[in-house]
Homo-oligomer: A and B are copies of this chain.
Amino acid sequence: MTSLAQVGMGTTLAGVALPSPVLTASGCSAAGRELAPYLDVAELGAVVTKSVMLRPRSGRATPRMAETPSGMLNSIGLQGPGIEAFLEHDLPWLAARAARAVVSIAGGSVEEFVQLAGRLVGAPGVALLEVNISCPNVASRGQVFACDPRAAADVIAAVKDAADVPVLAKLSPDVTDIVTIAAACVQAGADGLSMINTLLGMAIDTDTLRPILAGITGGLSGPAIRPVAVRCVWQVHAALPEVPILGMGGIMTGLDALQFLLAGASAVSVGTAVFHDPSAPARVARELRDALADRGIPGVADVVGLAHRDGRR
């Protein structure tokens, strides 16, 4: 047993020191403000903001979600106010509360990503950029950047050039070999990797006999996908042990978070769990601290990737 107060919850993600390894997940906590009644955003490792694009976006038609067993499908379509409104309203709110922001950016072309990264240079409170490459590449008939190592690398290299903070590439699990994509992103300069984004899924309404989502397919998230997410983190950490990983996918509890750390993540994002429990990111951090204390583990740094090694330290 380690006493609770002694557990070192600090972690380093892509060179950035964070007071807690538990962050929010992009698209699951907006820009943090709505969580204020349920937790203290400054105590989180960071707030990962909803992917922002250059221009305001309406998002898709509704229905935008379907509940599935231990998961959900979403097809929001990256609704958002665009980078200018984000810089004016969202970042200052976080900065005023001394919360760290990991800003997720999304674009349909390398140029859009670069412009976004450029606009964020010098913005207050930005700890890292998370590059959401699970976006269709307009230049290649909508093929998702994250599904092609070259396209992924092009985006990352360009963002890296433009950014003044470390850059995480957010990977999609919907690929034959995630290690190849991960390696391409690292080669292109990514300081770390976020994984995983949602799995492509769909559900059909057995009354209307039509797809439930207006967008037909959507992204599957929640505990249902956790085994896939842990596997991706495991595989990439095994292949690229030096590369920092922000792990996510179905984390509901502190023990779930611990699985990701053991698999090789230096920090984790809590996404869909927030819909179930708005205090989830804070609760997961507490539970993780308790779990480390129970196991006599001094701190987060001691478990990162541990399951690859001997097990019991």
Contacts and interface: CB of A to CB of B under 8 A. Distances in A.
Interface of A: 66, 68-71, 73, 147, 174-177, 199-204, 206, 208-211, 216-217, 220, 222-228, 230-231, 234, 250, 255, 258-259, 262-263, 291, 295, 303, 306-307, 311-313
A286 to B, nearest CB: 16
A98 B199 CA distance: 41
A201 B224 contact: no
B204 A303 contact: no
A225 B258 CA distance: 23
Contact of A312 (B209, B216, B227, B313): B209
Nearest to A258: B206
Contact of A70 (B71, B206, B211, B259): B71
Nearest to A254: B206
Contacts of A255: 206
A220 B70 CA distance: 14
A177 B177 CA distance: 12
B70 A70 contact: yes
Nearest to A147: B176
A92 B72 CA distance: 44
B202 A73 contact: no
A204 B68 contact: no
B228 A199 contact: yes
B228 A259 contact: no
Contact of A223 (B69, B225, B259): B69
Nearest to A307: B204
Contacts of A234: 202, 211, 216-217
A307 B217 contact: no
A200 B224 contact: no
Nearest to A225: B224
A263 to B, nearest CB: 6
Contact of A307 (B147, B210, B226): B210
A227 B176 contact: no
A214 to B, nearest CB: 13
A311 B209 contact: yes
B220 A259 contact: no
A97 to B, nearest CB: 32
Contacts of A263: 202, 204
- Select the residue from A69, A70, A216 with max chain B CB neighbours within 10 A: A69
Contacts of A262: 204, 206, 209
